[in-house]
Amino acid sequence: MPGPAALSAAAAVALVAALLLARREEAGPETGPSKPKLPKLREDFKMQNKSVFILGASGESGKVLLKEILEQNLFARVTLIGRRKLTFEEEAYKNVNQEVVDFEKLEDYASAFQGHDVGFCCLGTTRSKAGAEGFVRVDRDYVLKSAELAKSGGCKHFNLLSSKGADKSSNFLYLQVKGEVEDRVGELKFDRYSIFRPGVLLCNRQESRPGEWLIRKFFGFLPDSWASGHSVPVSTLARAMLNNMVRPSDKQMEILDNKAIHDLGKAHGVLKP
């Protein structure tokens, strides 16, 4: 019969084995053919020679998204749709197409939305800048009309930049409008519809917004673990949008909150489904 020392050793081995098994289960199954890594997903996507349009490329989020798209070289054709033509000095931007439209008469510019596989909408303004009516017109009416034209033009995957807390039942106009446009774009039934709800966007705007400057400073003094729950750098947001785009999905609609945006934006290897 084994002595006490032998029994203790056996118990220790069993405990270690149980801990290793638990860790392996938490980590999930090993990477295999069914879970290709991010570089492979990007290459597969690139081989499909797809086209993309960006609404709101003059804003901070759209500007960084465009830069990331060009650096990753994911699309055969990149088109900016906006109210004015943007000027770029870098060589990387030389093949970017630009469609100048009048958002008050968007139906006259349906051709600008034709033939794009993927669309990113980073369009938006603020109540302080445009007034309540102007804010609603831009963030709801312009966005919705653009989505309708994109759908009619053949867009399969529509990506909408929204906001944390978006809710059509909210008492706050900003969150109410964001929630309403989320729902109404969803009614268009794109093959794939991705909604991004970041917290405070951390960026260095050329446009002066003192309130946002104070908020960014505030988050800069907070612990990373807390700040990351309520804010996100625009560079992380842009990478998250593209990482999400290249990963296969069987969901017709998906909502990505601030944490999901952080996780996706920092991913370099295997993406979670």
The catalytic residue positions are: 174, 178
Q: Rounded CA gap, 121 and 56, in Å?
A: 7
Query: CA 83, 87, 88 angle in degrees (round to 5)?
Result: 135
Which of 76, 33, 26, 32 is closest to 53 using CA atoms? 76
Rounded (10°) CA dihedral 210, 85, 144, 164:
-30
CB 166 within 8 Å of CB 179: yes
Q: Rounded CA gap, 234 and 162, in Å?
A: 13
